[in-house]
A and B are shown apart, each in its own frame.
Chain A
Amino acid sequence: MHYIPILSTLVTFAFAVAVFRRYLLRHGPHLLMWTIGLLFYGIGTLSEVILGLTFSSLVLKLWYLCGAILTAAWLGQGTLHLLVRRRGVAWTLTGILAGISVLAGVLVLTAPLTSAATAYQVSQPISSQYQNILSRSGLIIALTIVFNIYGTLVLVGGAIYSAYIFWRKRVLFNRMIGNILIAAGALAPAMGGSFIKSGLPDFLYLTELVGAVLMYIGFLQTTTVPAVEPVPVSSR
């Protein structure tokens, strides 16, 4: 079971490096936001690797903060910067997101653990145990849900919207495919996480890996110029 988070971590950090290298070339703020989101993603999956070996209250809190709260919102923030042309709006929302993220960090890192922490089992995924171990206030739960709704809506909705625009205009085939893959990849862990919230079976580790792989392939698709265009309209 624990090899899945290892693979997810490797893929996610490689993805983060690729996005950050593109940011250094292009300087788009969306690339910086995606890099931050992917670092949170990677910290979340790395925490799963560590928690598969031993228990640590700090790592558990980092897993919850980065994986369950911050990842989706910051990835979504990248898409917001890409789609919202008025830069002031995007940066204002980024400032608000950063402020609330700091608040979430303080709340989660100071949250107490329950006595169930002593019964923690390394053989079981943390996603099936954290609800009994981490004592979450109503505000933490509310922030988790709001951040996930915001991030999922913007990231997945933005990718679907972009793919639809490329499809309707019949332009940039690679970007259309890339956005479909990004939407599917972003949706996978979002569905995995929401299943857990609703008491449904726990597929989080698997959906995280699938999500990271699909989004990485999607990113490569959107940023790669094809050597041969697929059936150009101008061909006669």
Chain B
Amino acid sequence: MNSKRFRPSAWLKWLVPLLLAMLLLGLLTTLIIIGMSLLGIKFGH
């Protein structure tokens, strides 16, 4: 019985890695922005 396994469809094979990469990029961007605010760097006024 192997019911918990799945085989991704063709579009999932590129969509999931793309989503994970975008999330990772978003996480890094957020951490950089928070870090820059720690240093007192602001983008607005």
Contacts and interface: CB of A to CB of B under 8 A. Distances in A.
B42 A199 contact: yes
A91 interface: no
A145 B27 contact: no
A167 B16 contact: yes
Nearest to A184: B23
Interface residues of B, number: 31
Contacts of A172: 4
Nearest to A156: B27
Given A200-B43, A232-B3, A170 B8 contact: yes
A233 B37 CA distance: 48
A231 B42 CA distance: 49
Interface stretch (A6-14, A30-38, A112-120, A187-195): A187-195
Interface of B: 1-9, 16-17, 19-20, 23-24, 26-27, 29-31, 33-38, 41-45
Given A231-B9, A234-B2, 16 more contacts: A142-B38, A149-B35, A160-B23, A163-B16, A171-B5, A187-B26, A190-B30, A194-B30, A197-B34, A197-B37, A198-B36, A229-B3, A229-B4, A230-B6, A232-B7, A234-B5
